[in-house]
Structure 1
Amino acid sequence: MNAPSIYVKIPFGSGTHRFKIVKAKRWGAIDQLVLQSLAQRPATSQQLADMSGLPRQLVVEILISLMQVGWVEISNGLEGFIFQATIRGIAISTYEDLPVDSEPLLRVRSFLIDPITEQCYRLERKKKKQTYQVYNYGRAQSLLGEYKGYTTEIQTSSTFAPELVDIFNCVANDDEDVNGFEEEVVRRSYSDSLKYAIASVSSENDISGVPEISEELKEAILAAADLQREKIRLLGNQLGKAEIGQGYYEARVSPRSLPVHHVESQSVTLVLGAEEHAQHIYHLIESAYSRIVLHSTFINAECVDEMLPALLDAVRRSVQVDVMWGQTEPDDPRKFQAFKLVVDKLEQLQKTIDGEGLGTQFRFHRTPTQSHAKFVIVDTPSGEWAVTIGSCNWLSSRFNRFEASVQVCDQRVVADALSIASHLAMGKQGLSNELSRELAVQSTILSKRKSVDKVKNKADLIQVQLISAAEHHSFCKKASDEAVGDIFICSHRISYAGDRPVLTPFKAALRDDPHLSIRVAYGRSSGSMRTSEANILNKELSSLNFKVIKADDPQIHAKVMTWDEDNVVITSMNWLSASSAGDVYGELGVFMKGAELSSKIRDAFESSYC
């Protein structure tokens, strides 16, 4: 006789909002061909007809349709009327299928939030469309009561706080795009609006009664059922099933993790050293086509004044500029005046910009994000987007220290970066705003771009993954487990805070392999650590066969970890002093593997310090 099923109650965050939905129009392959041609270079209708072999009249009809949705514009040139793709058209031309770009319709959509991974699942309001149901707490408890001791419940510490991009992707049908939602309706956390599903787990561990859930949640459901079965086995001969009682299973929330993308090597550019960073930021500003999103942890009034003319030039050629900063109000009264001066400076700058009539194009977001991340996101005239992530505080740097950043021009990586920027734009209170919504929509658009994964040999590509604050220490363990030749870690600051989570796995790796080379470089001591104490720590590490380098001429500001030839993490986090606690994106890093990136970084460091 088969053992009876176990019934597992699962909490889901839930939301129902009115979204701006755009229904897709069925464009043909010819429409897409014409748009892609114009995205490459402008042309007359006759040139397009000659190139495609289509009748000129048909080409004109296609052009009219493309102009009606705003993807193509017309101008008068020497050869007659010239057609060219708009910035929106250039972006759309990279889609596998062309969407419609008409006025959005308001549609009510509902979704559930996974208690383990916080990913979103579509919840159909018409229950005939789905094979599961969700209940409020009271109804779920009433149903569980029917199964006596064969019940258990999953409990988690989840905040039920998905990213806006995940919500947008979840509620859209295959033939739809989400352009946004009604004002002030989407919030950071859905922990106060829980719904419950009841999963049935058979003796063969088949799960029913839930949506298409994550593997992590499936594992938690099976573990909860196994635990309750074991409880029944141990107590069943002594107690009646009704007396065994409902079980409880504490499931660990999975750290939020972004996907690994396989990127062409020419799309990854290391930016190393002070001079390269100065050249890089001004090149980004001068070459941006329609958008600059800049996040700098700190802001220095003099540095802003130096960069402001370049930013204003970009704005005057219709580039939208959004500047965010991360510094929080200091607890130390001695530092508050300097903080207030920055806030006053931002208010003064915004008034100046508004006075020139550029306020809608150039926005200093004065509420700090409380993040130590440093990044710049821009688009280009070709419709491609790029993100630069690393150690440089773009609006407080005098470009006189050794920095390390990386620019990635892969659209899926940029989509992830835009989603992170959208998260940070919501601020400490987690309130959606115009900027967070704009960035989430653009992230959704880029995430639908074609993937090189399908057409390239992955062995020839670079693995790229954006990593959150909490994931950094797991990469130290990864490096210590994988390294066969050397590990190099570089941090602006050093303190005792970085010793246990960062250096402990490296100490273990040296015990296992005394021939492993581990070098630690830092610029200065941090916090309450005195120079004498830093020297003691240096001697301790040296006695364990670490090679310790004080890189202070010029002072190093880079935050890098490499191992062997190909593995690199470039980040905003001070490996040897900072904590990874706090907001999930309180720090932001990039893991890369391939193209001998480690060697290139070590060579740049050694040319400056060794």
Structure 2
Amino acid sequence: MNNIYIPAWHYRAPGIVQRTWGWSPVEEMILLSLDRSPGTIDDISEALKIPRQVVGSTVARLMQFGLVEVRLSPQPVLATSSVGHDFIRAGRALPERTADREIGISVVYEKVGQSVFRTRDVDTIAVTKLPAKGAIITFPKGEPPETHYSMMQRVNQFMVGALRPGEWLRGVQANSSFLEPRFLVLDLDEVRDGVLRQGASDQLVEALKATIKTGVLPKTTTPPADDPAPIETRFDADHFVVGSEQHLHRFEQIVGAAKSNIFVLSTFVASQSDEKGKENRERIWRSLEDACRRGVRCHLFFGTSLDRAKHATAMQELFLRLSAVRQTRGYLQVQRDPVGSHAKFLAADDGQDGAVVIMGSCNWLSSPFSAVEVSAELREGNAVAEALDLLRAIISKLSSASRSVETLQFMASELRRQRSLLSRPEASQTPTAMMTVLHAGDHERLLRVAAHEAQERFICCTNRVGANMVPALFDPAEVAGRRLSDVRVYYSRRSGPVKRGHVTRHRERLNGIVELAGVPEPQLHAKFLAWDSDHVVVSSLNWGSASGLDDNPLDEIGLYFEGQGLATSLLKKFEAENH
């Protein structure tokens, strides 16, 4: 036997598959009949000429979904409920019926052609049992190993088309998954004879044929990095959250509406004894307490690795406070290890089968809510699902967050399945924008493109200016300022070695080209970029003091929106706060 040994990863996890199905003509006929003329099961059977047993079982299903009810006065009859009546009058589709089933998922992902095989279709061998000699391809050096999160992504792609009609994969149960490195064993003689395993990629087949021809072993490959793809979404000026009070108000509203899950990622966490802004933060704490009281699961994270013990202690204090409200185990998913990201998230279900995400500059668990903040609120399903995926990728590095990772996966999957909502008439009335996710390294590139391409104005707001302020921000602003009459850079704080005199000298040098506006109070904690009338980036990145690195893409997250009048609208809100 002429075997070749290819590095691979074996992944095993329970998967949750949901079957969805609509309503039959019989069910719709009975619902319409009861809406026109309430009656008994015998009345319906006689009027529609349908067997009584069929009517009885159908009415039971309709009652299960709250579409039919029993009215006792003046005599007991079946009738459509207010919910069923509304569905009929509004012409809305009846609520789908669903049923979940658990399946066992076991796959092998190989590192040469990036094929995904069912484990039962291939032979693998443990790393410790590899032969001393032979056609062995080693695992790539310096490349990070596969993770439960990355394998979850591969499973989602693998399962497309592999399920029964009407079924879709909601996700996998991450807290019960298993992952280990192994070697895929393939017989080159079988490959030469055209015997290929189901799932083999064209890339793997070509690599093996080349090995048979030349005797040279193939090399492992790395999946190409995906460039951020624009998403068409519903987003207008009302979705910009500007100012501390508006952030507090939206937090209370969103957390107050949630029925199942709330996620908060804040760079820092304030101690319960911190007096600065305590009155405002109490509104945050009380909102979370109310959510716990209602049985909503609260998933809380912090980002920074600086002063790790301090923020872990503060998170423990918050955990104890919320635990006192509801003792039931599992409702508080509070992490005391940092996720290593400067991004800030508030995410929750909206209580109406949808979800909402706010991303931007606000440190929800530490802010005194006295500075000017700017965030973007996402409510349209595709955009929210993308944001939930980002949050899931950020927190997946924590093994203790597997339950939170799983919940985010299920929420995003459900939102994508419901993306047909975009075609509803009422949805089309909302202005449309294009949204692109920016990872850490994307920010500087886009800022420079904007500086060269802006035609009317170029405005950037950064909380801090630091050692890299000139190449990162001032130089691109100068490029724009030599063409445009309205170029502004707002900031509030200096960091690192930068002193007041350093900024003053650049202000004088750029006089008449770029307006450098230092605003000490109210502090500008907002981080955004706006140019012309339609282009806006809302971010967590301090444009004038931090550098987004390609090797840590989730350290900073920005959202780039292109839509009619968005920049004009945001600047108007910002200037009203910064008067």
TM-score bin, normalised by smaller chain: 0.7 to 0.9
User: Is contact 1:73–1:83 with CA below 8 Å preserved after alignment?
Assistant: yes
Distance 1:602 1:350, change over 3 A: closer
Residue 16 of structure 1 aligns with which residue? Answer: 11
SS at match of 2:458: strand
Q: Cα–Cα, structure 1 residues 525 and 45, in superposed 2: closer, same or farther, change >3 Å?
A: farther
Matched, 1:577 2:545: yes
Query: Which residue number corresponds to residue 425 of structure 1?
Result: 395
The answer to whether the 8 A contact 2:242-2:373 is kept is yes
1:495 to 466, 476, 484: 466
Q: Does 1:61 align with 2:53?
A: no
**Residue equivalent to 1:518:** 487
Amino acid at match of 1:515: L
Residues 15-69 of structure 1, C-alpha deviations (whole Å, 9 max, x = no match): 33132343636544659979xxxxxxxx99933988x99889767634644777x
Q: Which residue of 2 aligns with 1:236?
A: none
Gaps of at least 5 residues in structure 2 are 39-43, 85-91, 189-195, 273-277
Question: Over aligned residue pairs, what C-alpha RMSD do you find?
Answer: 5.0
* Alignment match, 1:232: none
Corresponding residue SS for 2:99: coil
Supply the AA of the counterpart residue of 1:61. S
Please tell me the residue identity of whatever aligns with 1:101. A
- CA gap of 1:444–1:545, structure 2 versus 1, over 3 A, is same
Q: Partner residue of 1:105?
A: 102
Please name the residue that 2:292 is paired with: 315
* Alpha-carbon spacing, 1:108–1:418, altered in 2? closer, same or farther (3 Å): same
Distance in 1, Cα, partners of 2:472 & 2:559: 19
Answer yes or no: is the 8 Å Cα contact 2:316–2:336 preserved in 1: no
Q: From the superposition, tell whether residues 106 and 515 of structure 1 become closer, same or farther in structure 2 (CA, over 3 Å).
A: closer
SS of the residue corresponding to residue 575 of structure 1 reads coil
> 1:493: Cα distance to partner?
0.8
Cα–Cα, structure 1 residues 442 and 525, in superposed 2: closer, same or farther, change >3 Å? same
Instruction: Determine the C-alpha separation between the residues in 1 that align with 2:350 and 2:142.
Output: 43
SS at match of 1:496: coil
Partner of 1:568: 536
Q: Which of 411, 435, 448 does residue 464 from structure 1 map onto? A: 435
1:516 to partner: Cα distance: 6.4
**Cα distance in structure 2, aligned partners of 1:32 and 1:154:** 58
Q: How does 1:78-117 map to 2 (within 5 A)?
A: 100-102=98-100, 104-110=101-107, 112=109
Match of 1:273 in 2: 243
Q: Deviations over 1:467-489 (max 9, x none)?
A: 32233223223323432222211
Label 1:339 to 1:285 Cα distance change in 2 as closer, same or farther (>3 A). Answer: closer
Q: Residues 607 and 458 (structure 1 numbering): CA distance in 2 closer, same or farther, change over 3 Å?
A: closer
In structure 1, what is the Cα distance between the partners aligned to 2:525 and 2:344? Answer: 12
Say whether 1:264 aligns with 2:234. yes
Does residue 346 in structure 1 map to residue 318 in structure 2?
yes
Greater Cα offset, 319-328 or 273-282 = 319-328
Residue in 2 aligned with 1:169?
A: 156
- For 1:312 and 1:14, the matched residues in 2 are separated by 42
**Farther-moved stretch of structure 1 (300-309 vs 379-388):** 300-309
Number of the residue aligned with 1:551: 519
Q: What is the CA-CA distance between 1:282 and the residue it aligns to?
A: 1.4
Who is 2:499 aligned against? 530
Greater mean alpha carbon deviation, residues 363-372 or residues 160-169: 160-169
8 Å Cα contact 2:299-2:333 kept in structure 1: yes
* Larger mean Cα displacement after TM superposition, 416-425 or 440-449: 416-425
Residues in 1 aligned to 2:555 and 2:570: alpha-carbon distance in whole angstroms: 25
Aligned positions, number: 529
Paired position in structure 2 for 1:205: none
With normalisation by structure 2, the TM-score equals 0.73
The alpha carbon displacement at 1:285 in A equals 2.2
* Counterpart residue identity of residue 325, structure 1: F
**How much does 1:210 deviate?**
10
Q: Report SS of the residue matched to 1:282.
A: helix
Alignment of 1:178-577 (within 5 A): 178=169, 181=172, 184=175, 186=177, 192-193=181-182, 254-255=224-225, 257-265=227-235, 269-300=239-270, 301=272, 302=278, 304-330=281-307, 338-339=310-311, 341-353=313-325, 356-427=326-397, 429-430=398-399, 433-451=402-420, 461-508=432-479, 514-515=483-484, 517-540=486-509, 542=510, 545-577=513-545
- Tell me the alpha carbon deviations over residues 75-129 of structure 1, each in whole angstroms, 9 at most, x when there is no partner: 878887876989xxxxxxx999957413x2332331537889xxx864234659x
Residue 287 of structure 1: how far off its partner (Å): 2.5
Q: Is the 8 A contact 1:376 1:389 kept in 2?
A: yes
Q: Is 1:594 equivalent to 2:563 in the alignment?
A: yes
Asked if structure 1 preserves the Cα contact closer than 8 Å seen for 2:121 and 2:198, the reply is: no
Is the partner of 2:419 in helix, strand or coil?
Answer: coil
**1:517-573 deviation line (CA, Å, top 9, x unaligned):** 432111111234333333344445x16922211122211010001111111110111
Structure 1: which amino acid aligns with 2:292?
V
Runs of 5+ in structure 1 lacking a partner?
1-8, 35-42, 87-93, 146-152, 200-207, 229-240
- 1:95/1:449 contact within 8 Å kept: no
TM-score w.r.t. length of structure 1: 0.70
